[in-house]
């Protein structure tokens, strides 16, 4: 470990813990809390099924993009892809999010009106801010009660097509199409519920999904991956395959954009504060970058300027040419990191490996069914 690393803040390596299947000294405690969490989840699911808890309907078509695990499947690029399609088709679209990690205090926060940003990443959270930056013409509204966010969008923008970001567990809101994303190679981590594992709810709840999208499909193993699981256990659910494809290397301090291939042969120091940081490292290596050191941080990590300065110093100490991170991490640090000309971020796009036409036909069919029911 480089000497400078001792000056970083460290916390539990949850990403690693939630993938491990071995037993360590702390696992009895994690198992206990996981069991208690599971009891709460099952009671909540039962209560909604028995209508003890009520779900409410928005005045429009609602499609949820979610997953079973705590991050790591690439929902944000999928939401961007779906929103751009709906906008191109002529629908008035809005994205509704909880704004995880945001410091907003209001019941409803308008992150973007579709033209201008109305909040920063610290207030809204990194994912809604990134959505707002990427989706010109699409309002982004956040609230812990996404029904209220949806009513706000309908009244102010005339929204008729609602995309519920990270919504599979948000049973308070009725939806017309439920999409679940699964990581191709490791869809369920170690198979345990939070906090022992990454699962938000039991795997058998996949039956609620209207369709599954296997992400990072190029990493699919010959056996044991998400696609094999779906074929064996959920054959009735329509399944699509997609990849997260490197799109651009952006140097904000230089106001330059390069093709991903620019990284080939370049010595880089990389870092990421996402749910599966090792995926970012692997992506850089596949692009041909020489990753001289990689520093993972926990998801939604609140970087401080001094930490970025430490990483810059490490880059120089190790003889790396660039310091590179993810676009999601960049939105959290751009206010103080834009001055560093040797910093870059890698942008990612969501592309279907196969079945794109069938996927959008399915969405269109769900829309038609919704209209018939009005």
- Give CA–CA dist 199/34, Å, rounded: 10
Pick the more confident residue, 28 or 306: 306
Domains of the chain: 61-244+352-373 (3.40.50.300), 245-350 (3.40.50)
According to the model, what pLDDT value does residue 18 have?
65
Residue-wise pLDDT tens digits, 222-260: 556 898 899 999 999 999 999 999 999 999 999 999 999
Residue-wise pLDDT tens digits, 275-289: 889 999 999 999 999
- Give CA–CA dist 71/294, Å, rounded: 20
Residue-wise pLDDT tens digits, 122-146: 999 999 999 999 999 999 999 999 9
According to the model, what pLDDT value does residue 104 have?
96
According to the model, what pLDDT value does residue 271 have?
98
Q: Is the pLDDT assigned to residue 25 strictly greater than 90? A: no
Q: Is the pLDDT assigned to residue 310 strictly greater than 80? A: yes
Confidence of residue 354 (pLDDT cuts 50, 70, 90): confident
- Give CA–CA dist 141/187, Å, rounded: 29
Mean pLDDT of all residues belonging to the chain: 92
Q: Which H/E stretch holds residue 127?
A: helix 126-134
- Give CA–CA dist 102/79, Å, rounded: 19
Confidence of residue 185 (pLDDT cuts 50, 70, 90): confident
According to the model, what pLDDT value does residue 26 have?
72
DSSP string covering 292-354: EEEEE--TT----HHHHHHHHHHHHHTT-SEEEEEHHHHHHHHHHHTT-TTEEEEEEEEEEEE
Instruction: Give SS3 for 2.
Output: coil
Q: Is the pLDDT assigned to residue 5 strictly greater than 60? A: no
Can you tell me the mean pLDDT for 67-75?
90
According to the model, what pLDDT value does residue 14 have?
58
pTM recorded for the entire structure? 0.93
- Render the burial of 118-137: b for 16+ CB within 10 Å, e for the rest: bbbbbbbbbbbbbbbbbbee
According to the model, what pLDDT value does residue 20 have?
64
């Amino acid at each position: 470990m480089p000497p400078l690393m001792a000056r970083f803040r460290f916390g539990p390596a949850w990403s690693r813990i939630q993938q491990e299947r071995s037993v360590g000294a702390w696992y009895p405690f994690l198992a206990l809390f996981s069991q208690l969490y599971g009891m709460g989840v099952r009671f909540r699911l039962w209560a909604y099924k028995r209508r003890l808890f009520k779900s409410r309907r928005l005045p429009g078509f609602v499609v949820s993009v979610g997953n079973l695990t705590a991050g790591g499947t690439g929902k944000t690029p999928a939401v961007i892809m779906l929103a751009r399609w709906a906008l191109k088709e002529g629908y008035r679209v809005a994205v509704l999010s909880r704004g995880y990690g945001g410091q907003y205090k209001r019941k409803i926060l308008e992150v973007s009106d579709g033209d201008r940003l109305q909040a920063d990443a610290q207030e809204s959270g990194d994912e809604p801010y990134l959505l707002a930056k990427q989706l010109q013409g699409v309002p982004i509204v956040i609230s812990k009660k996404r029904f209220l966010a949806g009513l706000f969008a309908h009244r102010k923008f005339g929204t008729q097509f609602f995309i519920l970001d990270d919504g599979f567990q948000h049973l308070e809101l009725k939806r017309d199409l439920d999409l679940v994303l699964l990581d191709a190679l490791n869809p369920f981590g170690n198979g345990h519920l939070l906090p022992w594992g990454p699962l938000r709810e039991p795997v058998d709840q996949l039956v609620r999904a209207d369709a599954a999208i296997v992400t990072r499909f190029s990493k699919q193993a010959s056996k044991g991956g998400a696609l094999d699981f779906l074929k064996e256990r959920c054959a009735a659910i329509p399944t699509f395959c997609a990849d997260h494809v490197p799109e651009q290397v952006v140097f904000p301090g230089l106001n330059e954009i390069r093709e991903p291939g620019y990284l080939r042969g370049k010595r880089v120091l990389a870092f990421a504060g996402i749910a599966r940081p090792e995926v970012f490292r692997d992506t850089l290596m596949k692009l041909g970058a020489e990753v001289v050191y990689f520093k993972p941080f926990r998801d939604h990590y609140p970087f401080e300027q001094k930490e970025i300065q430490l990483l810059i110093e490490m880059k120089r100490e190790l003889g790396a040419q660039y310091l590179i991170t993810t676009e999601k991490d960049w939105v959290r640090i751009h206010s103080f990191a834009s001055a560093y000309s040797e910093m870059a971020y890698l942008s990612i796009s969501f592309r279907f490996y196969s079945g794109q036409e069938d996927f959008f036909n399915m969405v269109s069919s769900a829309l038609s069914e919704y209209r018939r029911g009005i």
